[in-house]
Structure 1
């Protein structure tokens, strides 16, 4: 059994304003907000709900808070953007970078993501770096090449010690919001491949410390099977993280694996 922690990170996307965020924490089972050895729970609300998320947590809450994006500059004329200093001011522990929706809808490439990763690390924020293939790339048997390129490009120039502060999330894009899910075997195959690529780039010792999350429609019904795989270290959760009961169940399932 892996000695790595399990991270259950909810990506709320463009959902859950401040009122819904307050309701979420009010409804979240108190047991899910306690520290569990080897399990980390986090939610990543929209920017406007970050402060509410902090205020709504119970004083003993172990749920971490993250953002869904950040800019690579410190400040300036970047209308609509958010800096790492703004995130640290509200106490963010994590930031999601390179999500497939950012790549597809906002034109973010590996070079942009790489700059954001470096900026987050400088600020002491853990980047959750997303990589993954679309359906056509998998059908063309290009999925390993795509993920290899994204992984290397997004992490270019990092040291082994910096890599140890990064989380990777594998997104089979064809399984996001479609109801489709990669089989546990497919997930493990890609997660093992990513870890092997990290070992080639940064050394096995550093690669073995990195949490690699599954980001393709993990939910309570399939989480147990996925989390049993040796290289699946948690989930980047979409729809299921919007429901307090489902999120609590995912945390409980993760605890069962430790």
Structure 2
């Protein structure tokens, strides 16, 4: 899609195509077939046991006959952007120049659309590589408001997803994230501050942070990603997009009394407006 010999700059071509510049400039380091297979299994184990750290994941793999060291597991977890989720003191240090905001949802009853939005990033395996998926979710209705697929975990594709959600659906009262460098970056928080949205963050790795987005990842992976073997970034983007449309429009949710996220989000909003 990008023509490096075109009169338009690469940055302007990327903007016109709606892709992050990082996706154009970035050249991924090769990953061995063995590590790719190991990462796929780590991803599945993390969904089943989100509290498991590198040592426990190493031991779980060894029980399956896979000999691997803790340090190698920790390295792959870092590359995948996953870590154990559990309650612990907030001892993480933000990146230089990045402010960490307080957690605002303690004791708050979330009872309407656009009250609280949340976002996160997840690792997505392909046939011969991997990409990352970012999504913005309305917490009350579980509706996916926007998403982006990227080959890097840089802040830019998260900012693009945030801006799209704000442009299409207005703004929430509170926006909740973890303390990932993408979400503490000035590029990301600046968009929220400019829109006068309250920013909520919690301790790195805390179990409660983005539980609703974690549930989305479980659905995406077991109902879509693990059933496919994407051959390319474009195939992954298109197929995930189709699944998320189904997730919003056609997939009933027990937590929503059998309604779809679309029915809950738009139905409640329309009822409130009529009142």
TM-score normalised according to structure 2 size: 0.25
Please identify the structure whose Cα radius of gyration is greater: 2
Between the two structures, name the one with larger relative contact order (CA 8 Å, sep ≥ 6).
1
